[in-house]
Structure 1
Amino acid sequence: MSEPLLDVQDLRVSFATEDGLVQAVDGVSFSLAPGEILAIVGESGSGKSVTAQTLTGLTRSSNSRITGSVTYRGRELVGLDDDGLRDIRGEEIAMVFQDPMSSLNPVYRIGDQIVEMIRAHRDVPKSEAVRRAGELLAAVGIPNPQSRLRSYPHEFSGGMRQRVMIAMALALEPAVLIADEPTTALDVTVQAQILRLLAQLNAERGLAVVLITHDLGVVAEIADRVAVMYAGQIVENGSLDDIFYAPQHPYTWGLLGSLARLDRPRSERLTQIPGQPPSLLDPPPGCRFAPRCAFEFDRCSQPPDLAATQSGSHLDRCWLDLEEKARVRA
Structure 2
Amino acid sequence: MSAAPHIPVLLRPLLTACAPVRGTWVDGTFGAGGYARGLIEAGAAKVIGIDRDPLAHRMAEEWLPGFHGTIVLREGTFSELDRIAADAGAEQVAGVVLDLGISSMQIDIAERGFSFQKDAPLDMRMSQSGESARDIVNGADEGTLADILYLYGEERASRRIARAIVAARPVDTTLALAEIVARCLPRQKPGEKHPATRTFQALRIAVNDEYGELAQGLEAAERALAPGGLLAVVSFHSVEDRMVKRFLQLRAGRMGQGSRYAPLAEAEAPAFEAVTKKAIEPDAEELASNPRARSAKLRVARRTAAPAGRVSEQEIGMPILNTSRTTGGGRPRR
TM-score by length of 2: 0.30
TM-score by length of 1: 0.30
More strand by share: 1
More helix by share: 2
